[in-house]
């Protein structure tokens, strides 16, 4: 019998896949190192949400064969150790693209249509004082700059095209021909920053992307630019973003992810009215939670028992661990 630990809750539609196939499934709720070592030392697979799996814990998981992320980011697990020990790392590569793309669109529109400020104006009894509101504008025919062109970036591009926008893309790991096939324009990083009216970040967080957008990059942007991050906190330097919003270096922002999660209650971004903030929920619609739970559990089940059904593109370290397709 395969023993599977879920680090964090999963939708029942996903859990039932494991349970119906005879797996011994249990949930871990205490994420301290001592607790994880005690609970995970004899598991075959782990589903992982936002908790961290460090090398100290992984070294004690002597039977572990696969870690399946409930999502696409994996900065909360020691990737190098997994590769060294030939432990598979899976993501839910097909589940959340539409969901996150919709969230980005909602942030684009909320900020450029000043929905937050307008709502507050009405609630404050100032309906007739519309002149107090800042100028606002359309998404129609604007320049969109997408940083990262995986499934989410492509889903976003498709939705932006519905607003008759010009979509530019920077992704050094994607061939320019693929970008063009999706009716987008490949550009270099600095050019994209300069021409964009709207920017959306869809890159992983690593040494190269940390603080990828800081004061110098913010100063390249148009004064009417709207910057959205639903990828990972730390890619945009929050201190510099706060400076840019206060000093009107850019028009506004939408942030779903933070350098520290949960963010401190005295985070200066909280005091600004030209930013929309959400609590890392871009991929957490009811529909997406079901899809991600199912895909997370199928990754484990099929990797361990029936690789003919496995979506090999979800095993992101397949080549490093010698996985044969």
232 is catalytic: yes
* Rounded Cα gap, residues 161 and 151, in angstroms: 16
**Helix or strand (DSSP H, E) at 299:** helix 286-305
Of residues 11, 151, 154, 280, which has the active-site annotation? 280
Half-sphere exposure of 144 (CA within 13 A, CB side): 30
> Which three-class secondary structure state does DSSP give residue 263?
coil
* Rounded Cα gap, residues 238 and 215, in angstroms: 10
Report the alpha-carbon angle 39-47-71, nearest 5.
145
The answer to whether 111 and 273 have CB atoms below 8 angstroms apart is: no
Of residues 151, 154, 202, 232, which has the active-site annotation? 232
Tell me which residue of 300, 291, 289 sits closest to 67, measured CA to CA.
Answer: 300
280 is catalytic: yes
Tell me which residue of 72, 80, 28 sits closest to 51, measured CA to CA.
Answer: 28
Residues in the chain: 325
161 is catalytic: no
Q: Quickly tell me which residue has 């920017």 as its tokens.
A: 199
Quote the tokens at residue 319.
Answer: 């080549």
Of residues 141, 261, 287, 307, which has the active-site annotation? 261
* Residues marked as catalytic: 232, 261, 280
């Amino acid at each position: 019998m395969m023993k599977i630990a879920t680090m964090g809750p999963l939708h029942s539609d996903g859990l039932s896949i494991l349970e119906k196939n005879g797996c011994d499934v249990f949930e871990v709720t205490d994420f301290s190192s001592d607790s994880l070592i005690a609970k995970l030392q004899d598991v075959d697979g782990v589903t992982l949400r936002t908790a961290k799996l460090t090398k100290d814990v992984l070294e004690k998981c002597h039977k572990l064969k696969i870690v399946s992320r409930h999502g696409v980011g994996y900065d909360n697990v020691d990737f190098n150790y997994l590769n060294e020990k030939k432990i598979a790392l899976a993501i839910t590569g097909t589940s959340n693209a539409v969901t996150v793309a919709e969230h980005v669109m909602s942030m684009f529109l909320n900020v450029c249509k000043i929905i937050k400020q307008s709502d507050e104006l009405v609630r404050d009894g100032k309906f007739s004082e519309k002149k107090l509101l800042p100028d606002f504008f359309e998404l129609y025919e604007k320049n969109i700059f997408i940083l990262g062109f995986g499934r989410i970036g492509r889903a976003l591009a498709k939705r932006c095209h519905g607003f008759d926008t010009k979509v530019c893309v920077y992704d050094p790991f994607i061939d320019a021909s693929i970008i063009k096939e999706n009716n987008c324009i490949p550009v270099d990083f600095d050019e994209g920053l300069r021409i964009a009216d709207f920017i959306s970040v869809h890159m992983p967080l690593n040494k190269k992307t940390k603080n990828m957008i800081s004061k110098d990059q913010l100063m390249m942007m148009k004064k009417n630019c709207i910057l959205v991050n639903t990828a990972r906190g730390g890619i945009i330097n929050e201190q510099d973003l706060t400076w840019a919003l206060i000093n009107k270096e850019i028009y506004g922002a939408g942030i779903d992810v933070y350098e520290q999660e949960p963010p401190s209650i005295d985070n200066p971004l909280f005091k600004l009215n030209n930013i929309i903030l959400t609590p890392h929920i871009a991929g957490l619609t009811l529909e997406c939670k079901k899809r991600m739970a199912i895909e997370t559990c199928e990754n484990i089940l099929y990797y361990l028992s029936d690789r003919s059904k496995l979506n090999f593109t979800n095993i992101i370290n397949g080549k490093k661990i010698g996985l044969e397709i």
